[in-house]
Amino acid sequence: MSTRDLKGLYSALLVAFDENGNINEKGLRQIVRHNIDVCKMDGLYVGGSTGENFMLSTEEKKRIFEIAKDEAKDDITLIAQVGSINLKESVELAKFVTDLGYDAISAVTPFYYKFSFDEIKYYYETIIKDVDNRMIIYSIPFLTGVDMSLAQFGELFANPKIVGVKFTAADFYLLERMRKTYPDVLIFAGFDEMLLPATVLGVDGAIGSTYNVNGVRARQIFELAKQEKISEALEIQHVTNDLITDILDNGLYGTIKLLLEEAGVEAGCCREPMKKYSPEMRARAKEIYKKYF
C-alpha cells in the first residue's frame, strides 16, 4: 500500500477524445503534463465525472488509468475513481489500479437505484476488501441522489481502509460536523466555487474539474485561507467564480477542454451524447481564455 500523503489539491482529470469518441492518448498525456507542469497540482483524480467515466467501457477505463499512471509516473499523487453500479467492475478496477501503483482508490456512492445504507456500506466494503489500498468515498448527492448522515459516514469510516471523503455538497453544516467529529479523516472539497469556505472549515484538500485550467488560482485560495488571509483569498475566489460562471454558461467540460486547447493542449472532444462544439461555443471559449489567462 502506498504511504504517500494524500492531502492537497487535485485536478479531476479530463480525458481527450477524438471526434469519433475514441481515447486520444497523445491529448490525454498532454492534459496530465499540463496539470503537473503548469497547474502544479499535488495530485490527479482519475476516472471521475470530469473524465466522462460513466460513459466508458471497462477496458477504456483501464486504458485511461494506464496512460495517466505511465505519464505521471511518481511525480504526483494519483487517486483512481473506480465506482460503478456494476460492483464486479468496481472490484476489478480496484485491483487493477492498485497493481498499477495508484496511491488510493475512490468510489462514487452507488446511484440510480434507491440503495439502502446497508447496501451502500456493503458496496464500499466489497470494493476495498481484497486490495491493499485506501478508499476515498465520493459523495455527490446532487448527481447521485444519495444523502448520508454524519452517523452513516462514521460507520463507513470505522473501516480502517476507508480514510476519507470527496465532499461535493453544499451542506457546510454537515461538513463542519464531519470535520469536528472525525478529525483524522481526510476531507476533500468537491465544489470549486466553494473552495474558500471549505478551506476555512478545515478540509485537507480539494478535487476540482476547473483546476485543469485554474489550478494556480485554486492554490492561491487554498494557501491564503490556511494563512487566515481571508480577504485576499476572497478576491481570488471572486475571480475564480466569475470564470466558473462563464464556463458553466458555455458548457462545462467542453469549455474547459477548449480553454486547454487555447493553452496549446490537445484536449479533444467530449464523448457523445455530450454536444459537439459549435462555432459560437469555440468563439466564446476564446473570449473566456483571453479574459482570465
Domain boundary assignment for the chain: 8-229
Tens-digit pLDDT profile for residues 220-241: 999 999 999 999 999 999 999 9
Assess whether 45 carries a catalytic annotation. no
Place of cell 480539494: 206
Mean of per-residue pLDDT scores for the chain: 96
| pLDDT of 3 | 85
| pLDDT at position 202 | 98
Largest alpha-carbon pair distance within the chain?
51
> Which one is catalytic: 10, 138, 211, 277?
138
Arithmetic mean of pLDDT, 188-194: 97
- Which pLDDT does position 142 carry in this prediction? 62
Annotated catalytic, 292?
no
Q: Given a cut of 90, is residue 198 above it in pLDDT?
A: yes
Asked whether the predicted pLDDT for residue 145 surpasses 90, the reply is no
Q: pLDDT at residue 7 above 70?
A: yes
Secondary structure (DSSP) of 77-138: EEEEE---S-HHHHHHHHHHHHHHT-SEEEEEPP-SS---HHHHHHHHHHHHHTSSS-EEEE
Residue numbering of the annotated binding site for aceneuramate: 49-50, 168, 190, 192-193, 209
Give the fold, CATH level 3, of 8-229.
TIM Barrel (3.20.20)
Given 166, 211, 253, 277, which residue is catalytic?
Answer: 166
Q: Out of 129-133, 138-142, 234-238, 268-272, which region has the weakest mean confidence (pLDDT)?
A: 138-142
